[in-house]
Amino acid sequence: MEWPRITCRPVTEKGPNIVHSILGGLSLEFIRDSNIQVNDAFNTFHQNFVDSCLIVFPEREIGNFSSYPKIDWYTEELRDIKNHLDLINELYDRYKTEDLKLLRNQTRLHYKLEMDRAKRKAYNKTILNSSNQQQTMWDIINSRRKPKKA
C-alpha cells in the first residue's frame, strides 16, 4: 500500500535562532533612509524575513501515515461527554474536593470506555461494508501502529 505524501515546512528547535541570527546580520540602514518610501522599506524588511524563513525551513515531503484509512468514529455523544469532563476538570482544578476528584475519575473512565466502543463500532462497520474484509482489517490495524524507526 502506498501512503499519501504531503508537503510541509517542519519548524525545528534551532530554526528560530538561525532566522534571528540571519536577520541580525542584515543591515537595516534602508529603514532610516529618507529617500525610501515607508511601504517600500517595510516590504523590503518583510521580504528579508520571508526569505530567511524559506531558507531555514525548506519544504519537505513526508508520508501522511495518519490519513489512511480515515474512519470517522468521534460522535456527538463523545463530544458532550468530553465537554462535561472539561467542566469537571476546571471545577476540580479550582476547588480540589474529593467528590469532584471521584466524579472526574468516573467521567474520565466513562469517556475512555465510550471512545473504545465508538471506535470498535466504526471499525466493525467499515470492515463489514468492505469488499475485501481481511485487507481492510489489516489496513486498520497497521494504521494504528507507529511507523518503524529507521
The pLDDT, as a whole number, for residue 7 is 83
Q: Which cell goes with 78?
A: 463523545
How high is the mean pLDDT of the chain?
A: 88
- Asked if 32 contacts 80 with a C-beta cutoff of 8 angstroms, the reply is no
The string of pLDDT tens digits covering residues 20-69 is 898 888 888 888 888 889 999 899 989 998 999 999 989 888 776 555 55
| Cα distance between residue 49 and residue 108, in whole Å | 45
pTM: 0.52
The string of pLDDT tens digits covering residues 96-146 is 999 999 999 999 999 999 999 999 999 999 999 999 999 999 988 888 787
Q: Which of 20, 25, 31, 27 is nearest to 53 (CA)?
A: 20
